[in-house]
Structure formats: structure tokens, C-alpha cells
Structure 1
Amino acid sequence: MLTWKPEFDTGVEEVDHDHKRLAEGLNKLEELLNSGKGSESIPAVLAFLERYANEHFAREEACMHRMQCPTAAANVAAHAQFRQTFAAAKAKLEKPGASALIAHRVHGELVDWIKNHIMKIDMGLRR
């Protein structure tokens, strides 16, 4: 479970709102994985996460550009890397017979990526 903490706040309301929505999506995915009954719902949650992440990336990159954020270039590169990571994770989860262990590992990797990204790159938005 990705518990939102005040130290994740960048101080930019639209970015923080997006981050919270992404955390909610990851938590929903975890709930489905833990229930063992959510396999039919997992594709919809993955589609939401993919769509919302891309929308968020566009907003965040524009915000960093506007604010002349020192981590803007690193942010664009990290987002490109995340798209690749997410695509690979999604492919693993969509394979017939994907195990619960694989699903939990993939979820953990996504949660770790988001937390590290917020703390190391997005904090460049703090003024």
C-alpha cells in the first residue's frame, strides 16, 4: 500500500493531486491482487494507470518548464523510462497464467519507482 505522506508534497497543487490519484490507482491494483478475485478488473486499473500517468507527465513537464525547474530534463528522461518500465510490467501481467507472485513483484516495482521519482526528481518543484 502506498500511504501518502506530507514529505511527498511538492507544493504544486496540480502535481500533488496527480500523484495522489496515481497512488490511489496503485492501491486499487494492490487491493485487487490481494483479493484474488480481481483478475477481470486488473486490465481496467492498468489502463487507468497508463492513461493517467501519461496525462500527469504532460502536466508535470509543462509545470517544470514554466517554473524553470532544475530537474526538468531529468524528469522528461525519467518519464520516458517509466513508460518503458510500465509497458514491460503490463505485458507481464497480461500474459496468460501470470502468477500472483509476478503481479505482486510488478506492483512493488511500480510503487518503488513512483516514490523514488517523487522524492528525487519531483522535489525540484519545491521552492
Structure 2
Amino acid sequence: MLKDWSDVYLIGVPEIDQQHQGFFVASHRLYEGILDRDGKAAVGPAIAFMREYAEEHFQTEEAFMREHDYPGIKDHLRQHVAFFKRLDELENDLMIFGPSQDLADRALDITQDWLIDHIADEDMLYALHVKAGVA
């Protein structure tokens, strides 16, 4: 089931929260394309957005974590690398095989995994670290 934005995903860092909301919007755009059986047309722009989003967002997050001496930064950075690897695979398949409904479904799976596992869980950890006043 597609996740909707909720204040439960707010981590309390306005710039990062705004970026997370943008990721939810893009995920829903891809989902709507898939529901309309237009995923083939939606997948290229969705993958391009994911790349642009990840590059900007990860830089923002990483700077924030460094600024606050977040002790879990190395593990968090590994997760960013893993996301780029999954994205590279999507881009490679798009280049080799072209856009398809299957590729759109895979891209949506990645966005949902990211929304559920990373934003809701992992990003909350560094936010809690800062809120606890440990930094």
C-alpha cells in the first residue's frame, strides 16, 4: 500500500522535512502513472527525479549529521550508497531496455522501501540524537 505523507514523518528539521514531503509527492506521481497504466511514460522522469532528489537530499542530511556529530553517520552513509546502487540499476535497465511498466513497478517499490525504511526509521535516529542534546 502506498504511504501518504503524515506529520509522523516530521523529524523536526524544516529543510529535510520539506525534502521528504517532495519525495512523497514524487512517489505518488509515479504511483498514479502506474495506476493509469502509464508507468512506461512516468518511469523515466521518476528515475531522473530520484537521482536529483537523492544527490541534493543526501548532501543536506550528511552536512546536518556532521554538524551535529551524529555517531551513526557511517552506517547512514552506507545506506545512501546502497540507494544509489539500486538507482544505478534502474537507470541501467532504463538505458538498455527502455521504459516499461515493470521498471515503473520496480521504481515504485524502491521509493516505498525508502519512505518506510529510511525516512521513517533511519532519519528519525539522527533527529532524536539532536533533540536529545547529545551534539
> TM-score of the superposition, structure 2-length normalised?
0.80
Which residue of structure 1 aligns with residue 45 of structure 2?
44
Which residue of structure 1 aligns with residue 75 of structure 2?
74
Contact 1:71 1:122 in 2 (8 A): no
Give the C-alpha shift of residue 58 in structure 1: 0.3
Moved over 6 A (4+): none
Which residue of structure 2 aligns with residue 9 of structure 1?
10
**Which secondary structure state, in structure 1, belongs to the residue aligned with residue 52 of structure 2?**
helix
Contact 1:18 1:56 in 2 (8 A): yes
Cα displacement string for residues 7-48 of structure 1 (whole angstroms, at most 9, x for unaligned residues) = 211111111111111111111111111112353343122211
2: CA distance, partners of 1:72 / 1:53: 16
CA RMSD of aligned residues (A): 2.0
Give the C-alpha shift of residue 6 in structure 1: 2.1
Give the C-alpha shift of residue 101 in structure 1: 4.3
- Structure 1 residues 29 and 51, CA gap change in structure 2 (3 angstroms): same
% identical equivalent positions: 25
Which residue of structure 2 aligns with residue 62 of structure 1?
63
- Unmatched segments (≥5 aa) in structure 1: none
Instruction: Report how many aligned residue pairs link the two structures.
Output: 126
